[in-house]
Amino acid sequence: MINAIIVDDEPLAQDILETYLERIPEIELVAKCANAFEANEVLNKEDVDLMFLDINMPQLTGTDFLRGLTDPPVTIFTTAYPNYALDGFELNALDYLVKPISMDRFLQACNRAVEQAELQQKAKALPVQDGGPGYFFVKADKKLVRVNIDEIVYIEGLKDYVIIRLPNDRVITLQTMKSLEEKLPTSDFQRIHRSYIVNLERIEALQGNMVEVKEKGKITTLPVGKSYRDTLAERIEKLKL
């Protein structure tokens, strides 16, 4: 069962989404919130898997709210403003629904959420911890693809997909960064940004807010987020001569 919340300052919009959700047995509505602050309280108390989030809300917009969350649930934007679609993409939203939202379009988005939840549950069922198996399988191109952990250069989050970058290849799979991070040994991998996880063995250089990794014989530069900078610096410091 997927636990969901609705965040929208319009009561009518809340009621429409609630009515739609009543027709989807895989998703249970646990709360309706009129603003981002109410939603934040719910997220701190409840186990929320899916958030239907309006953008144009008073005091704090939906995009700013999502951007400030360190571990956000899967998010589907619901808004009357299509010009915010790029923001939704950059924030890794699962989908972007423009009001008035039809039932068939809403169902399509929910089916994607259910499919992603199922993949996450399968991933958690076979976690890879330090000292565990040196590989895992992900669904890609309609098949299960084996990924050898020590071959991973870095992982890039792209909307509701992740790209696993290998020395001479890449694997694109429907996953969240969080679910994939749980499968990686913490001794070798470090989250450096909302959209990047890096193999520490593949880091060639660290300078300011950027790291350099070698990919396909060339150097790729990756950003380091503010909230991850200190942890990465501490780990690199321990390896310095």
Q: Is the pLDDT of residue 210 over 70?
A: yes
User: Which structural domain, as residue segments, surrounds residue 132?
Assistant: 126-238
At 54 the pLDDT is: 95
Sign of CA dihedral 225, 230, 235, 237: positive
Give the amino acid at 63.
T
At 151 the pLDDT is: 93
Same domain membership, residue 66 and residue 52 = yes
Same domain membership, residue 119 and residue 7 = yes
Q: What angle do CA 218, 221, 225 make, to 5 degrees?
A: 160
Same domain membership, residue 26 and residue 113 = yes
Tokens 């609705």 -> residue: 6
Per DSSP, the three-state class of 98 is strand
Give the amino acid at 61.
T
pTM flag (> 0.85): no
Same domain membership, residue 7 and residue 31 = yes
Residue that terminates a domain, selected from 98, 124, 150? 124
Q: Is the pLDDT of residue 77 over 70?
A: yes
Same domain membership, residue 101 and residue 65 = yes
At 153 the pLDDT is: 95
- 25-29, 48-52, 184-188 — which is least confidently predicted? 184-188
At 234 the pLDDT is: 84
At 9 the pLDDT is: 96
Per-state percent for the chain, helix, strand, coil, to nearest 5: 35, 35, 30
Per DSSP, the three-state class of 141 is coil
Residue pLDDT, tens place only, 154-207? 999 987 789 999 988 899 998 888 888 888 888 889 999 989 999 998 999 888
Q: What is the DSSP letter of 44?
A: H
At 116 the pLDDT is: 78
| CATH code, domain carrying 214 | 2.40.50.1020
Same domain membership, residue 117 and residue 173 = no
At 212 the pLDDT is: 93
Strand boundaries in the chain, DSSP class E: 2-7, 27-33, 50-53, 74-79, 95-98, 135-140, 143-148, 154-158, 161-166, 169-173, 189-193, 196-199, 203-207, 210-215, 218-223
Residue that terminates a domain, selected from 82, 106, 124? 124
Structural contact between residues 184 and 191, judged by C-beta atoms closer than 8 angstroms: no
At 174 the pLDDT is: 87
Number of domains, the chain: 2
- 49-53, 66-70, 114-118, 141-145 — which is least confidently predicted? 114-118
Same domain membership, residue 99 and residue 151 = no
Same domain membership, residue 208 and residue 141 = yes
Q: How far is CA 190 from the centre of its chain?
A: 16
Half-sphere exposure in the Cβ direction for 94 (13 Å, CA): 25
Same domain membership, residue 112 and residue 98 = yes
Q: How far is CA 171 from the centre of its chain?
A: 17
Same domain membership, residue 112 and residue 36 = yes
Structure tokens at 50: 């899916």
Residue pLDDT, tens place only, 136-154? 888 888 788 899 999 999 9
